Amino acid sequence: MTTTTAENKQLVGRYLQALSGQAKTRELVARFVDDAALAEHIHHIEAAFPAYEITVDEMIAERDIVALRATFQGTQRGSFNGVPATGRAVSAGLMIFYRVAGTRIVEHWMQFDGASLMSQLQATAPV
């Protein structure tokens, strides 16, 4: 089934709306994602930052690719990259390209400001 650029953009919008700020169960993710690496990434991040949010700043689409510039926001409640839960609220910028086929996201490419995120998690309280 071939979808239009507008339909692909709408699918990614529905996906982000359904997951952002919600518990990201494997069943919910599977409704939108047919990219094992993306599904595993979501599960990994959700374990450390339950119900994290993605706020879209810009979204553009062409053919089967939907690109967005966004901000990740979450509170660390579980271990992340060797950092035990801190309870800190963090945010970091990101860019993601999704490739859509039919009604599912089948591939993704992401750039994430991980250095900023880790800096926020490892920051010490001012004395």
Q: How do residues 6-20 score in pLDDT, each as one tens digit? A: 999 999 999 999 999
Maximum pairwise Cα distance, the chain: 60
Q: State residue 88's pLDDT score.
A: 96
Give the three-class secondary structure for 110.
Answer: strand
The DSSP annotation for 24-80 comes to --HHHHHHHB--HHHHHHHHHHHHHSTT-EEEEEEEEEETTEEEEEEEEEEE--S-B
Rounded average pLDDT over 56-65? 97
Nearest Cα to Cα of residue 55 among 94, 113, 86:
94
**Residue 3 pLDDT class (50, 70, 90 cuts):** confident
Rounded average pLDDT over 69-86? 96
Indicate the domain borders of the chain: 5-122
Q: State residue 127's pLDDT score.
A: 40
Residue labelled with tokens 């509170």: 75
Domain 5-122: top CATH class: alpha beta
